[in-house]
Structure 1
Amino acid sequence: MIRLLCSKENGWYISEFKSGHNHPLFVTCGEKTHWKSHRHIDRYTKDLVKQLRDNNVGLGKVFSIVGSFFGSVENVPFTKRSLKTLCRKLNKDQSDSDAMKTMEILAYMKANDPDFNYTVQLDEDSRIKTLMWVTSRGCDQYRYFGDAITFDTTYRTNLYDMSFGLFVGVNNHFQSIIFGGVMMRDEKEESFKWVFQEFIRMVGGKHPQTILTDQARSMEIAIEAEMPNTVHRWCKWHVLKKVKESMGVLWSKNREFKMEFHKIVHHMTAEEEFEQGWQQMLDKYSLKKHPFLTQIYEVRHKWAKPYFMGVLCAKMTSTQRSESANHLLKGYVPPGCPMHLFLK
């Protein structure tokens, strides 16, 4: 045991020493990092960790990056557990007063973009139920290219597990353009009605000629109510994916059936030709009583190519553009992200 005291001249001197209290010193860094003194993270490293976490960098990568500043991971003067504790604290700090921070960001965006428009729907407890926005650029582009749009709500990477939907279209170069975005706590019929009503209001009242969505029944009812003159079509990719899942062995093992099915779906452009080919396929493979094929045939006007003739779709037959934009966000927005960071 050694005791140091401060002298009057602001120096140090040993006031006590007992050799009997000695024990072997730790040798490896792994042993040293369990001391309390190795749990401290300096403010510069904290700032670096905060920047990395704000940019969706995983905990393992954060530790590796921090290690590069100290020469190697073995030389990092704190444990990985200490880093996890810091990250948990950062997540908590970010989620505190989330609604207030969200409103501040919306106000900031409005100040820098006077034509930026947003609307908030609250529930009976005055909590945010739906949040929707349209930028001035999105509004301008909608005036020119808003005749055919897709809408998809598959993205759920945020703190409240809210669905995120994007209204997407294409410009004159067939590049994807985003018209507006919405965060929804539920996907009920009334919620979709509010979303479509507010979207049309914010983009100037013009209804699209065509809208492509997935097969959600609540969305279909809302479109019929709020956009009665808009042609509603289903994403063909979703329909074909379900065919693949429901056909089982016939799809995976029978190459001839798969080729015939693709020919009917992708290459037949006349309604009569499509219906005749479909019936022949059912007869040939004894599928007349197949429940899924019967179901999708009854709603063929929603997804089959011949029924798209004369309908402006701007070469879009699926919600892939909306889904791609949603997927792109995962590279920027960390899982469990609070609303204000997601919006930012």
Structure 2
Amino acid sequence: MQFLSEEEAYLFYNKYACSLGFSIRRGNQHKVKNSSTIQQRTFTCSRQGVHAEDKREDKFNYSRPETRCGCDARMKISLTNGIYYVYEFKEAHNHSLATGNMSQYLRSHRKVTEAQLANAEVAKSVGISNKATIDLMTKEACGPENLGFISTDMKNRVYSKRTLKAKVGDTGGVLELWRRRFQKMSFFYSIQVYKDDLITNIFWTDSKMVSDYALFGDVICFDTTYRKLDDGRPFGLIVGVNNHKKTIVFGTALLYDETVEVLLGFLEHF
């Protein structure tokens, strides 16, 4: 079997995988010396190999489920005289395969097209939520089985596209996005940046927080114990207690770290 390009070989193996009920990924590659041309490429089952032990496991409350089980199914191609030939093919799997139409929900078979992404961007620009946009696309496609992706795929593509628009060191678009969001929500905010124009600390509060602080700000507590993950950034809260002995928030911040300089800067802004 032969192919004109590495991409053509990938599409073939991916289509084959979809028909059998497994997902694939690109494996090892070797390039022609002093060139970007791929000499050899391995396409494997997505469950090939095993994950190395995560030394951070004891720090997390949640760990990702293990999906790899050492499956040895693969296809290897090699370039000869401008044509890619299959020189090794293993079809046996050591795990159960997806049945029926469930294979279309496996990772390598899901794809958001440029047209779908453009429609989502237009819908977002006029205030339509991602969920409503995906629901409409699902109806137009006559069901989720014909859509070709799941909602997470669309969210990731939209986020990635907006992230790529902001060049390294260029926070203009990001800052403007934050400003517009806070202004629409009647927020008061402060954004700190490093000398290389990268955002570090963001502080915000709203009119209700200001009003509550004026009434119940005799005693406050500064708390940065909440984090999404142990290696994430601290999310700081200045809280107090109202006359009903209920906790209320006076101010919030997303901090770069918990150094003395950062914490003092946050309190000065507050």
Q: TM-score, normalised by structure 1?
A: 0.35
Which has the greater radius of gyration? 1
Higher RCO by CA contacts (8 Å cutoff, separation 6 or greater): 1
More strand by share: 2
More helix by share: 1
